[in-house]
Chain A
Amino acid sequence: MKDELFTMTPDLPGMSPEMVARWQEELRRNALRMKHFSEMIMNPKEPEIGPTPREELYRKNKSRLYRYESKRTVKTPLLFVPNLGISRPYIFDLMRKGSFIEHMTERGFDFFLVDWGVFGPEDNDLTFEYAATKILPRMARKALEASGAKEISVLGYCMGAPLSLSWLGSAPEFPLKNYVDMAGPVDFSKIGLFGLWLDPRFFDADKYVDTLGAIPADMVKMGFKLLKPTMDVSTNLNLWWNLWNPDYVAGFNALNKWANEYLPFPGEFFRQWVKEFYQQNKLIKGQLRMDGRPVRLESIRCPVLAVGAKEDNIAPPDCVRPLVHAVSSSDTEYVELPGGHISLIAGRGASVHCWPKVASWLEARS
């Protein structure tokens, strides 16, 4: 009955049949909008996230190393290092046909993911240095052992890039095959609004950590929301506009779950992260020391790919690009792709621009 209502073409005076058909389509979409809206309110469904099969390979405190199922046709395994704190890593395996990890495993990569986990008050003494020089190398070693390979490629996303670079820059003996920096800041003098807000003239990191101990998830959320205050308005407007489309609604539900799940920072980690990276910019200046060893980006000699996102306001392209000039590699490439910090790696645009680029670049060198 409902279908008939939308398919019959009544003869309306003064209106062409084409216009009538377009109005019918608009009415159909509005009916679907109402239907999906009421479903979202009255009967919200928990989105299915992380669809790619995986096994836990190793755990250390809250952190886990996962290995994803794949045909493993690419010789060199890939270790993915995301950000610590802020958000959960299931954004990289959000949903079927909308997952970076699924894309990479389908292309035959032996894919390992570091999930830093959710830290509690007992982890407030955990430093950036400890994560970079104690947890990460151990995870990489376990990944190498499991894969049976002699070398491994590392992909750092967002804060995962400075974290992995701080380790690799102080461990030139590590068998690194390729390095990919995806929206990871390297030169913090060009980091944009966060750099200004965290400037030592306006932000006292010591007082912040000494008072609060850890950085609560709500504070992290506030900082990111402030970075783009109109984000919620445009998200909801786009939802309303696309609410008739069940695929869009499914994607929105999964992404919305992730976008509202903020994680706290361990206090000492935050202190070191803000002071040595945002405020003193030690990584690119070559002044950083980790575990008693200097961090030298020039000691990285393997092929390096840096990927910046044109609309990124968390790690703007200008602070990602300098990596390719700081390393000693003869094979370096910088690409700037459409999208923001998240849409670079998650969503429809990412599946068209970023995933194929990263996969092809690595395949050619693995």
Chain B
Amino acid sequence: MADQTGAQQLFDLWKKQVEEGTRAWLKMAGQGQSPDPQAFWRPFMDQGMQAWSKVMTQGQPSPDLMAQWKQFLDQWIAAWSKVLEQAMGTENFAQAMGKQLEGFLNQAGPAKKAAEQHIEATLAGLGVPSRSQVVGIAKHIIALEEKIDAVDDRIDTMLKRLEELTAAVRKDRA
């Protein structure tokens, strides 16, 4: 009996934590409406309680407790996943993410350009080919490969045409 009371207290504490956590997440995500945490935690909370009561009334410790604990954690993760998905599926979240990304690009752009210019100048001073020069050579090779492919295609087309003509001539002679 004392054990069951202890378990109840533990679950009350956990329930409170889930409710507060959910409220905080939804607030962060900027959802205007008041959230109902019961909607997501109730199904797995009930299952957890049932499993816990079963274990407590069995009379002897069972390894099933481990499986039930794993199931409980799976449901916990699934519930959080659902909450996060809801929070990230809002326009407010997308807007916040877009702003953050734009801020990053505003900082990264000039910094990247400055770093590239500095490296180019240093490498030029050392007489070593720069990244952009190597990339330029690679682009030329790719373009060359494309031209070879185009020539290859034309030869294929001509060979096919030649085969067709040969077949037609043979047919005429026959």
Contact = CB atoms under 8 A, between A and B. Distances in A.
A193 B70 CA distance: 29
A325 B31 CA distance: 36
B77 A138 contact: no
Contacts of A313: 85
Interface string B75-92: 001101100110011010
Given A123-B142, A202-B98, A230 B105 contact: no
A14 B112 contact: no
Interface in B103-150: 105, 108-109, 112, 131, 135, 138-139, 142, 145-146, 149
A19 B60 contact: yes
A269 to B, nearest CB: 14
B97 interface: yes
Given A23-B63, A196-B89, A230-B84, A125 B139 contact: yes
A230 B85 CA distance: 10
Interface string A116-138: 00001111010000000010001
Given A202-B97, A203-B98, A237-B74, A211 B63 contact: no
A352 interface: no
A61 B145 contact: yes
A203 B101 contact: yes
Contacts of B109: 211
B70 A196 contact: no
A208 B101 CA distance: 9
Given A23-B63, A25-B63, A193-B85, A211 B112 contact: yes
A211 B60 contact: no
A228 B131 CA distance: 36
Contacts of A204: 98, 102
Contacts of A15: 60
Interface range on chain B: under 10, 10 to 19, 20 to 34, or 35 or more?
35 or more
Nearest to A231: B81
B77 A230 contact: yes
Interface in A124-176: 125, 134, 138
A207 B77 contact: no
A193 B149 contact: no
A363 B108 CA distance: 52
A121 B112 CA distance: 14
Contacts of A19: 60, 62
Nearest to A204: B102
Nearest to A61: B142
B81 A228 contact: yes
B94 interface: yes
A202 B145 contact: no
Interface in B42-100: 60, 62-63, 66, 70, 73-74, 77-78, 80-81, 84-85, 88-89, 91, 94-95, 97-98
A122 B139 contact: yes
B94 A234 contact: no
A123 B143 CA distance: 11
Contacts of A201: 95, 98
Interface in A194-229: 196-197, 199, 201-204, 207-208, 211-212, 226, 228-229
A171 to B, nearest CB: 14
Contact of A193 (B74, B89, B95, B145): B89
A85 B170 CA distance: 50
B149 A234 contact: no
A124 to B, nearest CB: 8
A261 interface: no
B105 A237 contact: no
A211 B97 contact: no
A125 B135 CA distance: 12
A262 B58 CA distance: 49
A2 interface: no
Interface string A87-123: 0000000000000000000000000000000001111
B139 A193 contact: no
A56 interface: no
A39 interface: no
Top 9 closest pairs, chain A to chain B, by CB: A202-B98, A122-B138, A26-B63, A230-B81, A211-B109, A202-B94, A211-B105, A122-B135, A234-B77
16 contacts: A22-B62, A121-B135, A193-B85, A196-B89, A196-B91, A201-B98, A202-B91, A202-B97, A204-B102, A207-B102, A211-B105, A226-B88, A230-B77, A234-B77, A237-B70, A237-B74
Interface of B: 60, 62-63, 66, 70, 73-74, 77-78, 80-81, 84-85, 88-89, 91, 94-95, 97-98, 101-102, 105, 108-109, 112, 131, 135, 138-139, 142, 145-146, 149, 153
